[in-house]
Amino acid sequence: MAVTRSGSDEHWSGRAAFVLAAIGSAVGIGNLVRFPYQAGENGGGAFVIVYILAVFAIGLPVLMAELFIGRRGGGTPVAAIRRLAKAEGASTAWALMGWIGIFASFLIVTFYSVISGWLLYYAWSLLGDIAGNIAEMGLAGIAQPAFAGDSEDSITSRFPELLANPGRQVLFHGLFIGLATFIVSRGVKGGIEKAATWLMPVFFFLLVALSVTSLIIGDAASALDFLFRPKFDALASQFMNGEILVNAVGQAFFSLSLGSALMITYGIYLERDQNIPAAATTVASADTAVALISGLAIFPIVFAFNLEPAGGLGLIFGPLLLAFNQMPFGALFGLAFFIMAVFAALTSAISLFEVPAAWAKGDIDLDAATHARRRTIGSVIIGLLIFVIGVFHALSQVPDGGSLSTWQPFGQMPVLGNKTLLDAADALTGSIMLPLGGFLAAVFAGYAVSESSSREELGFKHEKSYRRWRFLIRYVCPFFVGLILVWGVIIAPLLAAANGN
Ligand code: TRP
């Protein structure tokens, strides 16, 4: 067999390190914001059930597939696929999937870093707020609400003011991506793994502390109702037009970091004695648990203060801040929340950054010293590129920011059109590139790779489990992921056009 047994000179130091890094990648802004919002929009508890099914029947098999492709191929995300395709007698054109992944990861991190910069700015502001209170009234200052004494208007205008301030956006985006560049340049063990093993435990601690506090002081009943009571009327109507399914599968992909060659890349660093199905199941379960728990941290507070569980990022940067302004210890609670969000975002951003960095590092024909040099230089160049493109994303959010805020890179096109640069990049990756990458990964693993190779590489304990994986990856995953693509790119725009918007 032509496939190398040791596909990289860098490896995770063990199972725990890998699992933490993969959870670090999966857990991010998608769990803290996108999941609760999607659940709310799609019939609450009903969506949660469909989502959990999507994670385990569609996301999990693809996660296992990406990890084994990376480990069996080795080298870089592109070289891994090409080498495995060659060994299996399949077309080396499959390597295109690696290129799509590198480009998608790069594009996502350019705007992910800008949004993370906003989170960092909020953490910084709350830190300043607490420091001010302590300077003024001693330790008792810790008990103050966030931005005590500020009017409701001045609280809710903080977000539009941030967007209107390009210098501030660029500064915090720059700090964030600078930190990510430093971590990635230090490599798998010394950088990515170290960051995950320090940041993720703090993240889990803050998440649990915040959700318990929130359930006690907030409106737990309304939050539980909002998140977990299946609203079957909503479910029925949305099921009919397929929307709930498309949203659930899309959210599962985004949340598990699939379709962007990221898990292929993390698989490259996985030692052969690690069991992929067991690790992948842990990652998928933890990611889902974090999504559910973060809903329990956010919504009790939102409902207790009669705020709108409004959509998307607006919730975190607006209503949530208003709640922190009305509760004792609000500044501290808010600071903990935004630190938690920054940590989650950082471990996700470095994983996205690692995909192009792994490519820059070069394939297995190079020696370790060359790899190290290319990683350092590559990280700096990629970091600079992310910074520069991110500046354009930031400027595209400035109201009246001149031509950049009105520029719609895809014009009036369906799906991608009528959007600022940042939102267009989000739609291009989320609605098209990630589902396409996931679809290709499923077909490659299920059809191009032979049954004996995937069975050996996955190492399921029972043949029955392997057969179930193979059925899901060959039939269920391509069908549903193909459905998202067809839905997102063809049907939804047609429906929108028919409805006259
Ligand atoms: N999963 C992360 C989140 O939930 C985001 C993310 C990181 C991601 N890497 C990715 C999404 C790769 C898609 C593809 O926020």
Helix-helix angle 477-486:243-255, to 10 degrees: 110
Provide mean pLDDT across the span 472-484. Answer: 94
Q: What is the mean pLDDT of residues 43-71?
A: 93
Question: 5 in a domain, yes or no?
Answer: no
Token pair listed for 233: 């009327």
pLDDT tens by residue, 383-400:
999 999 999 999 999 887
What separation in Å is there between the alpha carbon of 87 and the centre of ligand 1?
A: 30
Residue 399 · residue 449 · CB < 8 Å: no
Helix (H) or strand (E) holding 470: helix 463-471
What CATH number is associated with residue 470? 1.20.1740
349: CA distance to ligand 1 center in Å? 8
Q: Is 288 in the pocket of ligand 1 (CB under 6 A)?
A: no
Instruction: Report the domain count for the chain.
Output: 1
**Ligand 1 proximity of 31 Cβ (cutoff 6 Å):** yes
Residue nearest to atom 8 of ligand 1 (CA): 257
Alpha carbon distances (Å) from 474 to 47, 220, 486? 25, 42, 18
SS (H, E, C) 349-399: HHHHHHHHHHHHHCCCCCCHHHHHHHHHHHHHHHHHHHHHHHHHHHHHCCC
> Does residue 90 lie within any of the structural domains?
yes
Q: Is the pLDDT of residue 234 over 60?
A: yes
Q: How far is the CA of 114 from the centre of ligand 1 (A)?
A: 14
At 312 the pLDDT is: 66
Whether ligand 1 lies within 6 angstroms of the CB of 8 is answered as no
Closest ligand 1 atom number to CA of residue 25: 7
* Any domain includes 485: yes
**CA 145 to centroid of ligand 1, rounded, Å:** 32
The residue to which tokens 């690790």 are assigned: 279
Residue 252 lies in a domain: yes
Q: Is 7 within the bounds of a domain? A: no
In a domain, 1, yes or no: no
Q: What angle do CA 197, 248, 27 make, to 5 degrees?
A: 10
Segment 174-226, tens digit of pLDDT: 999 999 999 999 999 999 999 999 999 999 999 999 999 999 989 999 999 88
Where residue 449 falls among pLDDT bands split at 50, 70, 90?
very high
Average pLDDT, the chain: 91
Instruction: Point out the ligand 1 atom lying closest to the alpha carbon of residue 344.
Output: 15
Residue 351 Cβ inside 6 Å of ligand 1? The answer reads yes
Tell whether 4 is covered by a domain.
Answer: no
- The CA 211 to ligand 1 mean position distance, Å, reads 22
Q: What's the mean pLDDT in 428-434?
A: 87
- Give the three-state DSSP class for 310: coil
pLDDT tens, residue by residue, 291-328: 999 989 988 988 888 877 666 677 788 888 888 998 88
Cα of 348 from ligand 1 centre, angstroms: 6
* pLDDT value for 135: 95
Q: Candidates 27, 257, 353: which one to mutate for ligand 1, based on the most atoms within 8 Å of Cβ?
A: 257
Q: Is 67 in the pocket of ligand 1 (CB under 6 A)?
A: no
Give the confidence band of 4 by pLDDT, cuts at 50, 70, 90. very low
- What angle is formed at CA 64 by the lines to CA 41 and CA 111, rounded to 5 degrees? 50
Is 8 part of any domain?
Answer: no
Q: What digits encode the pLDDT tens for the residues 248-301?
A: 888 999 999 999 999 999 999 999 999 999 999 999 999 999 999 998 998 898
Best mutation site among 32, 62, 260, 313 for ligand 1 pocket (most ligand atoms within 8 Å of CB): 260
For 44-58, what is the mean pLDDT?
90
Containing structural domain, residue 282: 15-498
- Split at pLDDT 50, 70, 90, the class of 1 is very low
CA angle 393, 398, 402 (to 5 degrees): 95
